[in-house]
């Protein structure tokens, strides 16, 4: 029986994230073609990795129909030109799809079943809105298994404001302004561009174009502008389009490998997987999910929150990040949290976001050899949280 092996994150890339809808970057681009672009770029950027050495391709999508169906990990691998000997599969854990793709192949690598894998996610929310084609069992509501608000993410965020009365709309808006400012600075400083794959796009109206940067950020966002936005989920509520992530299209991918195999192939890993955990919470307050998943991941790693030098928290809603920070005694503007900004600025194409967090953390690790441990964490629809703890190899 093989003993468990160290698992490392070698490299990660993503398409620029677009706004969903008929005028968005990817309105007429297929979801599987976005994944193909990511896989090809990972192979191009890592010439030491022979394509036949990829043992698995795990790709997540929340809505697994149409161009996000057909076992997208396998179909995208074939479309990307990987040898037909490379298998693949699809994963669904809603927002934590790509995160789960990474932890799942990591388990296989640690066990010895794989040496190298590609993991990622895609969500084309313009083509496939969240909840398209689903048929929730009537027992959820008739037997009061979940609150009726559990299936509407914005309402779960309003519920979180109820649970944390100290988190006001003003605090949420201030956090959103900070996220936009950090993202604008990260772009200006050239921190985001190295991990973006310029992606060819085409529309019947305009012909060919190139998606080279994220479409969602709104630099120059002010408290005044956010204060004027409607609260669609509740009259006089707290949750607005400005203090939430958008509805987006995009794909992400990364190479995960056994540490010894990465060395053998001359690959330069950026971080080592220390521990991971997923946890369930009441679906109507799904935003608190990262709290128990992080507590569990820390416990498994034998670490405390004080050991963590960088945090990448997916910003589905400002309130959900603030609840996490409040629980762990961190300030709203803690410099260790999302230094490049987060999903409020970049967008959140559901199943793809987990690997964006990892790619940004890996880039920050390279700049911060003084930091040993970092966390990627996110809340997950239907009442879950996911957390991965990483060690800096810089």
CB 362 within 8 A of CB 12: yes
Which is nearest to 236 in space by CA: 151, 168, 176, 286? 168
327 is catalytic: no
Q: Torsion-angle region of residue 6: left (phi > 0), alpha (psi -120 to 50) or beta?
A: beta
CB 43 within 8 A of CB 51: yes
Cα separation, 222 vs 181, in Å, equals 10
CB 11 within 8 A of CB 43: no
Catalytic residue among 95, 124, 128, 161: 95
Please give the span between the terminal C-alpha atoms of the chain, in angstroms, as a whole number.
31
Cα separation, 33 vs 255, in Å, equals 18
CA–CA–CA angle 187, 290, 143 (5° rounding):
130
Which is nearest to 282 in space by CA: 154, 148, 389? 148
User: How do beta strands 271-280 and 373-380 pair?
Assistant: unpaired
Catalytic residue among 128, 161, 254, 379: 379
Task: Calculate the alpha carbon distances from 283 to 156, 256, 275, 378 in Å.
Answer: 8, 31, 24, 14
348 is catalytic: yes
Alpha helices in 228-305, H assignment, sequence order: 259-265, 290-301
254 is catalytic: no
Task: Calculate the alpha carbon distances from 162 to 109, 144, 234, 285 in Å.
Answer: 42, 20, 12, 10
DSSP string over 128-163: S-TTTT----THHHHTTSS-GGGG-HHHHHHHHHHH
Residue count (the chain):
394
Which is nearest to 122 in space by CA: 256, 291, 251, 227? 251
Catalytic residues: 95, 348, 379
């Amino acid at each position: 029986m093989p003993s468990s092996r160290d698992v490392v994150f070698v490299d990660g890339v993503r398409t620029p994230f677009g706004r969903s809808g008929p005028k968005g970057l990817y309105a007429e681009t297929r979801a599987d073609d976005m994944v193909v672009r990511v896989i090809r770029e990972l192979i191009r950027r890592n010439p030491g990795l022979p394509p036949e050495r990829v043992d698995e391709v795990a790709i997540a999508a929340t809505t697994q129909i149409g161009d996000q169906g057909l076992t997208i990990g396998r179909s995208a691998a074939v479309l990307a030109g990987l040898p037909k000997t490379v298998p693949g599969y699809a994963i669904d854990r809603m927002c934590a799809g790509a995160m789960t793709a990474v932890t799942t192949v990591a388990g296989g690598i640690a066990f010895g079943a794989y040496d190298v894998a590609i993991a990622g996610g895609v969500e084309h929310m313009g083509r496939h809105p969240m909840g398209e084609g689903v048929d929730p069992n009537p027992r959820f509501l008739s037997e009061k298994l979940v609150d009726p608000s559990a299936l509407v993410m914005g309402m779960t965020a309003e519920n979180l404001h109820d649970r944390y009365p100290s988190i006001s709309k003003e605090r949420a808006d201030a956090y959103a302004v900070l996220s936009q400012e950090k993202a604008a600075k990260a772009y200006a400083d050239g921190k985001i561009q190295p991990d973006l794959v310029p992606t060819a796009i085409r529309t019947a109206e305009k012909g060919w174009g190139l998606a080279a940067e994220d479409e969602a950020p709104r630099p120059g966002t002010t408290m005044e502008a956010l204060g004027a936005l409607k609260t669609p989920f509740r009259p006089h509520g707290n949750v607005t389009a400005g203090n939430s992530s958008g509805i987006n299209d995009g794909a992400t991918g990364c190479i995960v490998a056994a540490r010894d195999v990465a060395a053998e192939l001359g690959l330069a890993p950026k971080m080592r997987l220390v521990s991971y955990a997923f946890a369930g919470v009441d679906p109507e307050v799904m935003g608190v999910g990262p709290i128990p998943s992080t507590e569990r991941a820390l416990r498994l790693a034998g670490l405390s929150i004080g050991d963590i030098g960088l945090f990448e928290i997916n910003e589905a809603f400002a309130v959900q990040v603030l609840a996490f920070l409040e629980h762990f005694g961190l300030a709203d503007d803690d410099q260790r949290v999302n230094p490049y900004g987060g999903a409020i600025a970049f967008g959140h194409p559901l199943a793809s976001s987990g690997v964006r967090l990892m790619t940004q953390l890996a880039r920050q690790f390279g700049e911060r050899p003084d930091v040993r441990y970092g966390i990627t964490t996110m809340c997950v629809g239907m009442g879950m949280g996911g957390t991965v703890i990483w060690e800096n190899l810089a």
